[in-house]
Structure 1
């Protein structure tokens, strides 16, 4: 098994190898289909060998560029003005050093996007010349100036489309399948997207030819002209199809599960099988691809019965592994609840103002600071599911009682309830807790007009990313809480009858959001299966 730091590097090297095989197969297949339109198709030539080499290099350039900018989390890129102002602050203002990290991260995203579009443009130029050159009827000057310029334009258009659709953000599939099966499933969709985009790109590049200098307009008339146009369109379709397949291959290879565990039967598996996973959770850079893979592996270990031996190792006698796992799961949820609680007063006006503007979801995503709180939606979902599943399985699998003795049950429930209340408050959702406590008993009910403004804004933007992520996260948190309540329903009911529900199932400290009374009433709703 590869060491943990080498996971991403090995996947990148494997991705480069497989994309080279894929590009070669597409190039050879296309040349075989186009053989009737090629002069001397059976005779190898120097241009043919060079065309194949440059085509593979162009696809490798595109593959490296999408890997360089790919990230499991969406970061807002810095605008040109922000880059200029940030650079001036870094040079002339020493007080801006605490903000250097945020500025550098956004600056790297902006530079990466520019490099991606530039690499796609250069890849389009080289790929079109390589794949069309063997069948082009005209001079070399016309091939480079005409077809090459159109390929450059197609590359720029595809790079902008790639950035606008945020396809550089790695989205992990809900169901993990074998890599070959996952790749095969999306091939028909990739062909359809390539066909649609190639039509639009052909029309765009044809309009561009009008603006080219006069010497690039000397097109060959008659049959040769239509043959060149047919060859260019089919060649552009093949190039775009390769880009689509490479992009999908990158997502499949980098979002598949990696098992952070030693092999069964080894000495490490017998002594401490959880150490590689804990090292990846705690020592990897925050919000990095390596950390996402670690949380994905943790979620599958806790929520499925595939690796029962690994889940059983979490409940080891000392309880140290269990505490570290629970801390790794609850820490991101506590940060989200705290961030929403702090940003709620200042975010109300911005949401309300954005709701009155005719902006697209992408523009809202780019301009709203609020969305940054939900950029880690997938990570929050894994944390909630892993913590809830591990708590539920502890009822039957915790032989030493480390979960109960360490207070893990109360910690997990308090965190999940606090995070759910923060998300629901942020969405402006009305709950029946008001009728139980009254406005004076609810800490956050005094700002009811602000909540109504948020609700109005959210209702106006039901298709916005903010609305979808907030409601999806609320559903995940509810399901996670119900998972625990269903497993420990008898114990919770007994504690409620004795008046010990708060003492036994909620943390003693102050919650990160709301109050202990509010969390207790929310838990009672779940206990009676009335929370919705």
Structure 2
């Protein structure tokens, strides 16, 4: 029995998410209703009242289904760029009054912004329905007063959700059982729901000042206090349902999926890597199935529990190994190409400076799409670690020598070093290639920034939001290169003594960033454990 297609995996996880969030929200609903009935002066249990209660429960279930569907519609494995309100207005004016084709980039960011708007509106509608179902059991007049505050609750939560980028799926470093992962997130969900309910309650109360008098008629002081207690408890329950739905969505959609047939089956004996390669190559780029495939590949290469699956990568023909390596190197090559374009654009007419002095560009010269490429940190990290672990494992597990015979080892090291050079220059690190007649043995010298006043643009970039991800990506690349160098240290030393280090471990083709000599000297730094 082979695993289902990647698209079916995503649909199944969405179905399980709907089932589990319905169970949790239903539990919260009944406990809250039973507690709030104690505040009711004369609870009624007539047949009409029971029918009305059933109708409210179905409405509440529909509102949660609406919220959960919009949450899944908005979620993404990586941050997506969006247009600001000013950019949207300018684009709409240009489209209305200027007969020019719509820029594809503007269309893309406008669609993302539209998804944000839809989610906020849906959250507002869900807030109206949920608050009314929780707190509106005393008649139609109470429901009329609750509609506005419920909409404010939903809109505020939607804006907070979008602003904090909670819609981005965060894959945990350590994969735990589903129930344990859900249990670990419960205290944080309760704490956040408590804070959000307090803020939303105060904001909605302040906005009531600007509404007509019929929305503020509350009766006696005792009725007013009771109504406010019921409203706050109901709003807390609504926010708790939303927070638990978000937590369940994260847990269920970021759980590792094993793209392999069951161990011992006929498919596992014949071609166990076919489902994984299909998910890597045929899935929509940057979709959830592709992310799950890269996560599975990284864990197969890193851990010993799936050694039988990893052993299939080293089959005799070497075709499987080449496909796996190519799937890992492709995103890293794309990242390097994107950074190389903007870095080379800073030196038009100064191409000879690339081998002598690599300098970081200013923020004004960097295009937004190159910042966007760094947002896909999770996939780049998985690719770098997976291909490094696989190359390291090949030293002991590659019985047929396919890693060396196919030239994959040199391609892996060249791509990792080239990506690291691009990342370091993008961060503002300056490198200079010293000529042999001045330095003796050809070495690479890394210049530290001056201790004096830093360049304003460089300082701004180092304090920017992407600096942490850039540093993390550089650390991942360094660790990946060091793991390969450590595994093949004796072989590399032998090649160095014979003068064949670059020939054996660096590809002859022009690298995506830097030069052949620069990559060779950087590799020597790693071999001497002096790269940092």
Normalised TM-score (structure 1): 0.89
Distance verdict in 2 for CA 1:438–1:159, change over 3 Å: farther
Instruction: Please tell me whether the aligned partners of residues 6 and 283 of structure 2 are also in contact (alpha carbons under 8 angstroms).
Output: no
Please list the CA deviations of residues 47-66 of structure 1 after superposition, one character each: whole Å capped at 9, or x if unmatched: 21122111111111110001
Question: Corresponding residue for 2:168?
Answer: 169
For residue 20 of structure 1, the aligned residue among 12, 15, 22 is 22
Alignment of 1:347-496 (within 5 A): 351=363, 368-430=368-430, 456-460=456-460, 462=462, 464-496=464-496
- Give the Cα–Cα distance (whole angstroms) in 2 for the partners of residues 453 and 408 of structure 1: 44
Deviation of 1:425 after TM superposition, in Å, equals: 0.6
Q: How many pairs were matched up? A: 512
Contact kept in structure 2, 1:326 and 1:408, CA below 8 Å: yes
1:286-318 deviation line (CA, Å, top 9, x unaligned): 111111111111101111112111100011111
Match in the other structure for 1:292:
291
Greater share of residues in helix:
1
Q: 1:351 offset after TM fit, Å?
A: 1.6
CA distance in 2, matches of 1:147, 1:278: 53
Structure 1: unaligned runs, 5 residues or longer? 355-366
Partners of 2:481 and 2:280 in 1: CA distance:
23
TM-aligned CA distance change 1:85 to 1:34, over 3 Å: closer
Instruction: Please list the CA deviations of residues 57-105 of structure 1 after superposition, one character each: whole Å capped at 9, or x if unmatched.
Output: 11111100010011112121234564566578889999858x53x4443
* Kept in 1: contact 2:77–2:286 (CA 8 A): yes
Residue 251 (structure 1) aligned with residue 250 (structure 2) = yes
| Compared CA separation, residues 428 and 435, structure 1 to 2 (3 A) | farther
Q: Distance in 2 between matches of 1:196 and 1:132?
A: 20
Aligned-partner SS, 2:136: helix
SS state of the match for residue 326, structure 2? helix
Cα distance per residue 1:120-145 (max 9 Å; x no partner): 000000000000012x4xx523x233
Which piece of structure 1 moves more, 394-403 or 33-42? 33-42
Counterpart of 2:524 in 1: which secondary structure? Answer: helix
Alignment check: 8 A CA contact 1:428 1:455 kept: no
Contact 2:193 / 2:240 at 8 angstroms: preserved in 1? yes
Structure 2 counterpart of 1:325: 324
Distance 1:149 1:25, change over 3 A: same
Could you tell me which residue of structure 1 aligns to residue 216 of structure 2? 217
SS in 2 for 1:513: coil
> Residue in 2 aligned with 1:522?
522
For 2:4, the equivalent position in structure 1 comes to: 2
CA distance in 2, matches of 1:437, 1:431: 18
In structure 2, the partner of 1:360 is: none
- On the 8 A contact 1:352/1:453 being kept in 2, the answer is no
Contact 1:89 1:96 in 2 (8 A): no
Match of 1:68 among 69, 73, 78: 73
Alignment of 1:113 with 2:116, yes or no, is yes
Paired residues of 2:189 and 2:244 also in contact (CA < 8 A)? yes
